[in-house]
């Protein structure tokens, strides 16, 4: 196994198949993303986030009655305990929202009667609680840090509209609601990405759902992962106008040569989610009378792609983070909530993966993830060091 | 690479070298554990936990002045913010302590002026804060859940004694202090175990120290990992007397065939840490006038080893979790704090790994950990499913 070891070391496990999964498939060379058999384009066009959550957890699209029941189960779990709100009120106003979410999810376990009961049914219950409560938690913190009272969940609203309502206190118009819903559908799942692998890895030790998902949120917070959508928006704000794009690209190519939100480790075509998000930025620009962000983004993408090709780097297209930030920005979602919003969607995939890791017969994991490493700490040559007493150091 | 893929899938990455490390080496077949060149036996005999933390972070044993400065840096970070205590006071008294620790660590980021500044110096500062504050956090929660006031850290005490003091309000006697200190030394680091791999994986996305360590705590909480020491003690309590051992082993061999705390995925000899802990259980038994737990443990180990050998399974020896639980129990540490105590020690290794993952030139990681999976979700045969509208489901 020596040769494969050498191939694997320091590659971040890229291309290494660590398990089987029935959850999703990213066909990178064809630019296809498939959730449990269904193409992302079909789901974005026809399904709500609730239907996608059902598909993730029960492996089929729900019938009308099934969806009604599922919706009711989610709605009755939306509220968070007053003691949870009290905990959020202790948090400094300049806390990073992803830290609040990571800590808050671990603390949500404290309000479940038996969070660590590792049955499939209980883990599903934990998972439903998280889908339902994470938006309430995040919206409540955003209001608290702004000196406002949290807004209770509204059972007349669907999942997407309810989050925007709890954030702003206003019921969003149906077109905004549907666009936000589509954003949630697009971000729901993406195979063994870093945060999902974190969730599975934690779950593989037989830790419970809250522990696994809290860890996944930590992983998503990194700028190389979910933190990218926030950074794309900051980049667009920094560029500020179409005229400044050439200069920006030139400077970036002189420094680290990276453009935020361009390129993907799996897709070798344009990210299929970016294709759906791009016209949404345009539409939001028209609605709000502010087409500038669409113009900057679309021009930046074209010029950056060309600049990469000039350097011999082909296939550096826009990814999902490139356009989602601008959509959220035009919806007036605070920039530092973009990555938490990503988490509010990806939770559906994470839960499916935790349950697959712990219970699925189709894709059983033999044991916890415990890789090896190559010890290169030759502090005293190949032999161990002799202990040196304090007085002789 | 097809052959190595097949070898890797569903094996939990066992034996797969994913990176280089200078931090520690587990020579499983020889039963050796080495922290940055030094044998665990030498460190347990001669070094304090503070010296081991210094060794982990600065790659050498400290001189007297260096240790004094380091100790001062830790002591001045021990206190936790009143708002952090306020958050702990919102937590239900029946919360799982590992959930409190996982959430609390993420929330500790809120009290650092710039937790996400990803420089080596700032991550080290975050790490020192965590070594210093985790015991304070955990002891405070234990007192709060028992209706007592938290005890402020005592700067006259070393790290080990201070934790026991904050937990009980009493300064421990020097022999107990040193034994607990040795327990912290023994659990400080163990290469790419599941929680450490989680910490590295989260850090690989450029998430900050708190996010990475909080996730590692989640991973450690699983019963297949750090949760085992608590379960060993529960097993010993269930067995209750030497006379009941034969029966217990027989019943376990009829069901899942596993004895908690026996066997290790890496060691093929007796775990070197168990060898050091075993006489500590005996000594604690003598001190407290309660030798029964030592007798039960030592007899269970011998009989279980023999029973495994009879089944053709050789080398199923006691591991670190087998004896640590009994030591903590005799020190009157609550059973559900055994795994948190493991975390208060392992933090030193986790921090070294996060920093190695993010900054070390000697062992650079090319990118975040993002493995692949084998998609076996043939919901509609090898082709994608056609979307079915709601009315036709």
For the domain made up of B6-223+336-359, the CATH class stated in words is: mainly alpha
Positions of B marked active-site: 264, 321
Residue by residue, DSSP assigns A203-267 as HTTT--HHHHHHHHHHHHTSTTTTTHHHHHHHHHHHH-SGGGHHHHHHHHHHTT---TTB--SS-
Contact call for residues A189 and A55 (beta carbons, < 8 A) = no
What confidence score (pLDDT) does residue B8 get?
65
pLDDT of A366 reads: 54
Least confident of A100-104, B213-217, B354-358, B361-365: B361-365
pLDDT, residue B353, reads: 97
Would you say A304 and A259 are in contact if contact means Cβ atoms under 8 Å apart?
yes
Q: Quick check: B364 pLDDT over 70?
A: no
Q: Return the pLDDT at B84.
A: 98
pLDDT band for position B365 (50/70/90)? low
Residue of chain B whose Cα is closest to the Cα of A107: B103
Whether residue A374 lies within 8 A of chain B, CB to CB, comes out as yes
CB within 8 Å: B225 and A205: yes
- Helix residue ranges per DSSP H, chain B: 2-8, 40-46, 49-58, 64-76, 82-89, 97-108, 120-145, 159-168, 174-186, 194-203, 209-220, 228-239, 245-254, 272-288, 292-310, 320-330, 338-359
| Token representation of residue A341 | 């919003």
**Top-tier CATH class for A228-329:** mainly alpha
pLDDT level of residue B10 (50, 70, 90 thresholds): confident
Structure tokens at B357: 């993952």
Q: What are the phi and psi torsion angles at B266 (to 5°)?
A: -110, -45
Mean pLDDT of A206-214: 97
For residue B373, give the DSSP letter. E
Confidence of residue A268 (pLDDT cuts 50, 70, 90): confident
| Catalytic residue list contains A208 | no
Average the pLDDT over each of A16-25, B34-43, B89-98, B335-344 and give the range with the smallest value: A16-25
- Residues with Cβ within 8 Å of residue A255, at least 6 apart in sequence: none
Tokens standing for residue B90: 């919102």
Radius of gyration of chain A, Cα coordinates, nearest whole angstrom? 22
Q: Cβ contacts (< 8 Å) between A34 and chain B: which residues?
A: 375, 377, 384
pLDDT of amino acid B18: 87
Q: Where in chain B is the domain with CATH 1.10.230.10?
A: 228-329
Which residue in A321, A336, A374, A391 is the catalytic one?
A321
B361 Cβ under 8 Å from any chain A Cβ:
no
Instruction: Choose between B255 and A42: higher pLDDT.
Output: A42
Computed over every residue of chain A, the mean pLDDT equals: 93
Q: Cα A337–B104–A202 angle (5° rounding)? A: 80
**Residues A145 and A250: beta-carbon distance below 8 Å:** no
For the residues A231-240, what does the mean pLDDT come to?
95
The predicted structure's pLDDT at residue A362 = 56
Chain A contact present for B80, CB below 8 A:
no
Predicted confidence at residue A252, as pLDDT, reads 94
pTM to 2 decimals? 0.96
- With contacts defined as CB-CB under 8 Å, which chain B residues touch A382? none
Contact B19 A389 (CB under 8 A): no
> Residue A191 pLDDT more than 50?
yes
* Start-to-end Cα distance in chain B: 41
In this prediction, residue A151 carries a pLDDT of: 98
When pLDDT is cut at 50, 70 and 90, the band that residue A46 belongs to is very high
CA distance A75 to chain B (A): 21
Inter-residue contact B189 to A188 (CB < 8 Å): no
ipTM of the complex: 0.95
Percent of chain A with pLDDT over 90: 83
Interchain contact, A25 vs B377, CB within 8 Å:
yes
For residue A323, what pLDDT band results from cuts at 50, 70 and 90?
very high
Interface of A with B in 235-264 (CB under 8 A): none
pLDDT, mean of residues A296-316: 93
Q: Does residue A257 or residue B161 have the better pLDDT?
A: B161
pLDDT digits (tens, 9 = 90+) for A128-146: 999 999 999 999 999 999 9
- C-alpha dist (Å) from residue B39 to A101, A243, B104, B317: 40, 62, 33, 20
Residue B366 has pLDDT above 60, yes or no: no
* Residues A205, B227: C-beta atoms closer than 8 Å: yes
Q: Tell me: the pLDDT tens digits for A98-115? A: 999 999 999 999 999 999
Least confident of A186-190, A338-342, B46-50, B227-231: B227-231
- Residue B212: pLDDT band by 50, 70, 90 thresholds? very high
CB contact under 8 A, B86 and A90: yes
pLDDT (0 to 100) of residue B90: 98
Q: Sort out which chain A residues have CB atoms less than 8 A from B31's CB and list them.
A: none
Residue ranges matching CATH 1.10.580.10 in chain A: 6-223+336-359
Q: How many CB pairs under 8 A join A and B?
A: 441
> What are B258-280's pLDDT values in tens digits?
899 998 878 888 899 999 999 99
pLDDT of A3 > 50? The answer is no
Q: Give tens-digit pLDDT for B114-172.
A: 999 999 999 999 999 999 999 999 999 999 999 999 999 999 999 999 999 999 999 99
- Contact at CB, A205 and B219, closer than 8 angstroms: yes
């Amino acid at each position: 196994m020596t040769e494969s070891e050498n191939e694997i070391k320091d590659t971040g496990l890229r291309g290494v198949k660590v398990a089987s999964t029935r959850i999703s498939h990213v066909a990178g060379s064809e630019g296809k993303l498939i959730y449990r058999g269904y193409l992302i384009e079909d789901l974005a066009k026809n399904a709500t986030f609730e239907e996608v959550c059902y598909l993730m957890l029960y492996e089929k699209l729900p019938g009308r009655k099934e969806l009604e029941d599922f919706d009711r189960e989610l709605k009755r779990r939306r509220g968070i305990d007053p003691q949870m709100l009290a905990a959020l009120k202790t948090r400094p106003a300049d806390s990073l929202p992803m830290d609040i979410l990571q800590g808050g999810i671990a603390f949500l376990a404290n309000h479940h009667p038996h969070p660590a009961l590792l049955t499939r049914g209980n883990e599903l219950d934990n998972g439903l609680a998280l889908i339902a409560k994470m938006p309430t938690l995040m919206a409540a913190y955003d209001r608290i840090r702004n000196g406002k009272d949290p807004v209770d969940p509204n059972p007349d609203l669907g999942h997407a509209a309810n989050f925007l309502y709890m954030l702003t206190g206003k019921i969003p118009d149906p077109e905004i609601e549907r666009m936000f819903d589509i954003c949630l559908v697009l971000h729901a799942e993406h195979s063994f990405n870093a945060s999902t692998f974190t969730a599975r890895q934690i779950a593989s030790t037989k830790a419970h759902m809250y522990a696994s998902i809290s860890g996944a949120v930590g992983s998503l917070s990194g700028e190389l992962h979910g933190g990218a959508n926030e950074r794309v928006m900051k980049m667009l704000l920094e560029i500020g106008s179409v005229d400044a794009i050439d200069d920006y690209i030139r400077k970036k190519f002189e420094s680290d040569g990276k453009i935020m939100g361009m390129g993907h480790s799996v897709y070798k075509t344009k990210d299929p989610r970016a294709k759906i998000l791009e016209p949404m930025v345009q539409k939001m620009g028209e609605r709000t009378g502010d087409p500038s962000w669409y113009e900057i983004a679309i021009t930046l993408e074209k010029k950056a792609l060309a600049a990469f090709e000039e350097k011999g780097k082909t296939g550096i297209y826009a990814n999902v983070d490139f356009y989602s930030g601008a959509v959220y920005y035009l919806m007036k979602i605070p920039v530092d909530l973009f990555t938490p919003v990503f988490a509010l969607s990806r939770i559906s995939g994470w839960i499916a993966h935790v349950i697959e890791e712990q219970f699925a017969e189709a894709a059983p994991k033999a044991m916890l993830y415990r890789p090896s490493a190559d010890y290169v700490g030759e502090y005293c040559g190949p032999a161990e060091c002799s202990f040196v007493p304090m007085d002789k150091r």
